Homo-oligomer: A and B are copies of this chain.
Amino acid sequence: MIGGGRGAFIGGVHRIAAIMDGQAELVAGAFSSDPERSRASGADLHLEAGRVYGSYAEMAEQEAAQPADRRLDFVVIVTPNHQHFGPAKAFLEAGFHVICDKPVTFDLAQARKLKAIVARTGKLFVLTHNYTGNAMVKQAREFVRAGRLGTLRKVVVEYPQGWLADAIEQTGQKQAAWRTDPKRSGAAGCMGDIGTHAENLARYITGLEIAELCADLTTFVKGRALDDDGNVLLRFTGGAKGVLHASQICVGDENNLNIRVYGTKAALEWYQEHPNELIVKYPDQPRQVWRRGNGYDGAAAQRATRIPAGHPEGYLEAFGNIYREAFRGIRAVLDGQKLPKDLDVPTIDDGVEGMAFIEAVVRSSARGARWVTLKR
């Protein structure tokens, strides 16, 4: 694991998600760019001292030299955005599969470069757009793919949070500090951190491609350099329209990612805070509530399920599903097979698309919220 030392949030999430099915074990890490801190974190996690490193470069070099029976199967990158590309490149080139937090890189150019590296090395690169790991999100995608919604017309995707409504980055809150810092987060704040989740979720479910967008980004909190709120109009290839808005200043909202998709025949609603349900609406039939863990759910949703209906799964299980599917891929490669064709993980392509989205919303907003096309 790269990053995820003391005081980090997402590192702990990745660790639970990775081990929950008993398929993986944490054995090495460079948990911080501060070697002292890295060592302390490694000790917290009961790692062998010799496999705790002061830098990812050191780790890549030394772990590549491990004998086969001690060799890492994959590396997880959970650093701030500006430190994704370096370790990803290093480990891919050192022959390791990589699981990386989102957004994939600091900027679009890096993402494109990384795409080339992934292609060249032939290693598996998995981007943890964890919300697509939810069983009912997979069910939603299956509905769209099966044509059950008819032709898609409108998508509304929201991601309001409230935790950055005040300038907590100035009070030493580590999570807030790097996310609001353009040197570490990239060109966007809110839009990079969670806007990309919304973009990814919409694309995962609908398969629609954003043709052009008009983004009005705002920085509400004084002294902050990056956007903490954004409202975006979307036009998809093929004629569907959309609204995407995300915010970190919506006080009282916690992590309210949600999506509504309207087609000519039916519509879907899914709420991340109530992830075990998928609402389906029809023009001329009662609404349906599809629930995780039932025999009537489709194959994709059933595979992404650990426990029976009514026993709520949550954020960690969805995150774990990304890992579980990544492991399926890694195991296939270890077994000398090709990657399963139906492997259902977010890839470097999702990463590039996300960075193109960030680049476009920032560009649109900088021009006064004019329509721009995405550069892919």
Select A310's contact among B254, B285, B288, beta carbons within 8 Å: B254
Q: How far is the CA of A220 from the CA of B150 in the complex (A)?
A: 13
| Chain B, Cβ-Cβ closest to A268 | B252
Q: How far is the CA of A314 from the CA of B273 in the complex (A)?
A: 11
Residues of B near A12 (CB, < 8 A) are 306
A249 near B262: Cβ-Cβ < 8 Å: yes
B275 near A312: Cβ-Cβ < 8 Å: yes
Q: How far is the CA of A58 from the CA of B231 in the complex (A)?
A: 51
Residues of B near A369 (CB, < 8 A) are 214, 233, 371
Q: How far is the CA of A153 from the CA of B160 in the complex (A)?
A: 13
A252 near B220: Cβ-Cβ < 8 Å: no
User: Quick check: is A370 within 8 A (CB to CB) of the other chain?
Assistant: yes
Select A218's contact among B165, B241, B288, B295, beta carbons within 8 Å: B241
Residues of B near A188 (CB, < 8 A) are none
B26 near A16: Cβ-Cβ < 8 Å: no
Residues of B near A154 (CB, < 8 A) are 229, 247, 249-250
B-contact bits for A304-342, CB 8 A (1 contact / 0 none): 001111111111110000000000000000000000000
A281 near B252: Cβ-Cβ < 8 Å: yes
Count the copies.
Answer: 4
Q: How far is the CA of A168 from the CA of B282 in the complex (A)?
A: 16
| Chain B, Cβ-Cβ closest to A257 | B310
Which of A17-25, A101-109, A113-121 interfaces with chain B?
A17-25
Residues of B near A160 (CB, < 8 A) are 262
Select A371's contact among B245, B307, B368, beta carbons within 8 Å: B368
B-contact bits for A131-170, CB 8 A (1 contact / 0 none): 0000000000000000000000110101011110110000
Select A233's contact among B216, B253, B265, beta carbons within 8 Å: B216
| Chain B, Cβ-Cβ closest to A247 | B154
B307 near A254: Cβ-Cβ < 8 Å: no
Select A314's contact among B216, B253, B312, beta carbons within 8 Å: B312
Q: How far is the CA of A250 from the CA of B13 in the complex (A)?
A: 36
Select A243's contact among B243, B263, B264, B313, beta carbons within 8 Å: B243
Residues of B near A19 (CB, < 8 A) are 19-20, 22
User: Quick check: is A291 within 8 A (CB to CB) of the other chain?
Assistant: yes
B-contact bits for A345-376, CB 8 A (1 contact / 0 none): 00000000000000000000000111100000
CB distance from A255 to the nearest CB of B (A): 3
Select A286's contact among B9, B163, B216, B280, beta carbons within 8 Å: B280
Q: How far is the CA of A263 from the CA of B26 in the complex (A)?
A: 44
B-contact bits for A203-215, CB 8 A (1 contact / 0 none): 0000000000010
B-contact bits for A256-273, CB 8 A (1 contact / 0 none): 100010111111000011
Q: How far is the CA of A291 from the CA of B256 in the complex (A)?
A: 13
Q: How far is the CA of A19 from the CA of B19 in the complex (A)?
A: 7
CB distance from A305 to the nearest CB of B (A): 12
B153 near A255: Cβ-Cβ < 8 Å: no
A290 near B286: Cβ-Cβ < 8 Å: yes
Most buried by B among A249, A262, A293, A317: A262
Q: How far is the CA of A158 from the CA of B154 in the complex (A)?
A: 13
Given A251-B281, A273-B276, 18 further pairs, Cβ under 8 A: A19-B20, A20-B20, A154-B250, A161-B310, A231-B233, A247-B262, A250-B260, A251-B264, A252-B266, A252-B280, A252-B281, A253-B281, A255-B310, A272-B310, A273-B312, A275-B312, A284-B294, A314-B314
